[in-house]
Structure 1
């Protein structure tokens, strides 16, 4: 591995498991000092700050603690999020509020807290985690899709606002990924094997996206060498959004 992030500090929210853990590992392998903001402590390799991104006070304290402990902040990966199932008539007001507070406002809180430190970096980057649900209509994902569509719009607005400050903002849009959350959904299905096969068939390349593939996309966007990549949504979805293949 090259050390393209040597001397840089990255925050990864929701970095204790799944995609977040893969991102934290990949950034660390390439030289970054990584701080995980999560309610759970992932391991002893990365700096950890307990944080609930739906709480502004806890976010502010966690980000300040990272800056004090590691000396700087160069990269913020807003990965923390929660899922939701059902059509528009399914979820309660409380579920809508909770998903919005975590999936959208949570990204704004972390970014807001990190901005003073990012402005001091010579290679600042924010990467938000969107989803294929932001651009493709997916059944039984009304609430989740609404939050991820907001993430996409937020990313582009942030990119426009902060480009002149030297802070690049982009997002990654994974397809259905092989994560613990998806695994729990599969186990709740009447026929988990059939449900997994249906999810795999929905993606043109015929399988679930791996957490490591998403991490690679994040690392590309975070790389200060890619200074002309700004305001983009990078799909990692096996062609689900862009391709329309004929049935085999």
Structure 2
């Protein structure tokens, strides 16, 4: 299936590892031009080298918790690419323990970076004929689990925010959707850390998966790219759960 993403201009926050990196790669494979960012300069350099020859991608060092830096990055990318068609808010502080600091970090990084990314990109999205907003939430935003608290609450807020955007922007032809992954395993990720640091929790989490295993970043990236594409032109305001039947609640 041709997703009609050739030469579409895409921004992805947190694009150097895990789900974010897989999303960048998937868009490039569909012929899109991608700007991505991360806080770690070495990670951006390494990713840029790894993407060489895959397609037009430009990495930048940006702390998405810095409102001015995030807005400046969006404007610079729009100028360099000649506009913006798709934004993907992927970064999370992964601030799980219930502390005052983690509440602040989750709200500033997970929630407000999503809001600020949309605000900064909006003038450019309004000029696109295929405008799409995607935010990465989590199954922890859909049901209570060990990550309830700062992380889970922030992820719930993201789903609500994006659903409201879909309603508010429909008459402008701008779509907004959320993707909520279940536990996703990759080297250097949170579950790889838990596997060695808390084997009992890791074993319990794997056991909850009806498939018998966790997902991969690529398995999350594929539905993200589909939802963002013009092929999904009638889908807006949805929260697509990508969890291998992990969650038990019926989504009505």
> Does the pair score TM above 0.5?
yes
User: 2:194 touches 2:202 (CA, 8 Å); kept in 1?
Assistant: no
Structure 1 stretch displaced more, 67-76 or 18-27:
67-76
SS of the residue corresponding to residue 10 of structure 2 reads strand
The alpha-carbon distance between structure 1 residues 56 and 203, as it changes in their structure 2 partners (threshold 3 A), is same
Number of positions where the alignment pairs a residue of Structure 1 with one of Structure 2: 237
Q: Does 1:43 align with 2:43?
A: no
Q: Does 1:17 align with 2:17?
A: yes
CA distance in 2, matches of 1:173, 1:94: 24
Q: Which residue matches 1:236? A: 242
1:51-92 Cα shifts (integer Å, max 9, x gaps): 111111101110011011111110101001121233xxx41x
Q: Which of 194, 215, 225 pairs up with 1:219?
A: 225
CA distance in 1, matches of 2:39, 2:146: 30
Superposed, 1:145-164 pairs within 5 Å as 145-164=152-171
For the aligned residues, what is the CA RMSD?
1.6
Gaps of at least 5 residues in structure 2 are: 52-56
CA distance in 2, matches of 1:209, 1:13: 21
Gaps of at least 5 residues in structure 1 are: none
Q: Which of 44, 60, 74 pairs up with 2:85?
A: 74
User: 2:96 touches 2:102 (CA, 8 Å); kept in 1?
Assistant: no
Q: Which residue matches 1:63? A: 74
SS of the residue corresponding to residue 172 of structure 1 reads strand
Q: Which residue matches 2:210? A: 204
How far did residue 134 of structure 1 move?
1.0
1:29-51 Cα shifts (integer Å, max 9, x gaps): 00000100211312243211221
The alpha-carbon distance between structure 1 residues 173 and 70, as it changes in their structure 2 partners (threshold 3 A), is same
How far did residue 116 of structure 1 move?
0.5
Q: Which of 91, 108, 131 pairs up with 2:138?
A: 131
User: 1:84 touches 1:141 (CA, 8 Å); kept in 2?
Assistant: no
CA distance in 1, matches of 2:163, 2:95: 24
Q: Which residue matches 1:182? A: 191
Q: Which residue matches 2:174? A: 167
Following TM superposition, the consecutive aligned residue runs of length 4 or more in structure 1 with deviations greater than 4 angstroms are none
